[in-house]
Chain A
Amino acid sequence: MARRHHDLGGLPAGPVDRSEHQLSDWEILADAINQALGEKRIKRTDEMRRAREDMDSEVYRSLTYYERWIASLETILTEKKIFTREEIDRKVAEFEKQWGEP
């Protein structure tokens, strides 16, 4: 029976890091966008989970919490044809030009 990359219950994990940390602006924004899309009934938590679970495992493990959220939102918004991958890539390229490497 295969265990998927998100399903870690019972695996050795070491001590839990309980330190508080400040959220970055982009993380707060990611949360806000996520909630707004939920409020508008564009996506559901279950879809977000499915998108994270279906990511490439190496990519999944390399991303931070909110990076996984953003990647999941991109997947769902492109699936639903609200954005195309090209539109997202174009916008990211614009930001990179304006602000430097993200």
Chain B
Amino acid sequence: MRVRAEERPGHIRTPFYIRGRVGWVEKVYGDFLNPESLAYGRDGLPKRTLYLVGFHQKEIWGQYRAGAQDKLYVDIYEHWLEPL
């Protein structure tokens, strides 16, 4: 799947460096109140599924010189992910 390369104002939980990148779901954590709603004093509903998403380090960093198999894991909510 791909992380949405969305530009959206306000509090978001998906870091800049991972937006638009392609990875795989490593694990499903479950459903949680949406922090992007809680950040504004709202109720955080509907709950959103949170995933542990894996990426290849060498694909994320242009200059990455360590192990070719090194991986990077990021917690990402479902509304930030899209199918390839």
**Which residues of A come within 8 Å of B, CB atoms?**
1-4, 7, 9-10, 44, 46-47, 49-50, 53-54, 79-80
Contacts and interface: CB of A to CB of B under 8 A. Distances in A.
B11 A53 contact: yes
Contacts of B60: 10
Interface stretch (B12-20, B22-30, B47-55, B76-84): B12-20
A2 B12 CA distance: 12
Nearest to B60: A10
B39 A47 contact: yes
Question: In which size bucket is the chain B interface?
Answer: 10 to 19
25 contacts: A1-B5, A1-B7, A1-B16, A1-B19, A3-B16, A4-B16, A7-B15, A7-B16, A9-B16, A9-B17, A10-B16, A10-B17, A10-B60, A10-B61, A44-B38, A44-B39, A46-B38, A46-B39, A47-B38, A47-B41, A49-B39, A50-B11, A50-B39, A53-B11, A54-B10
By secondary structure, the A interface counts as loop
Interface string B40-77: 11000000000000000000110000000000000000
Given A1-B7, A2-B7, A50-B10, A9 B15 contact: yes
B15 A46 contact: no
B7 A80 contact: no
Contacts of B10: 50, 54
Nearest to B37: A46
Contacts of A44: 38-39
Contact of B41 (A1, A54, A80): A80
A57 B61 CA distance: 26
B35 A46 contact: yes
Given A1-B19, A44-B38, A49-B11, 6 more contacts: A7-B16, A9-B18, A10-B16, A46-B35, A46-B38, A54-B10
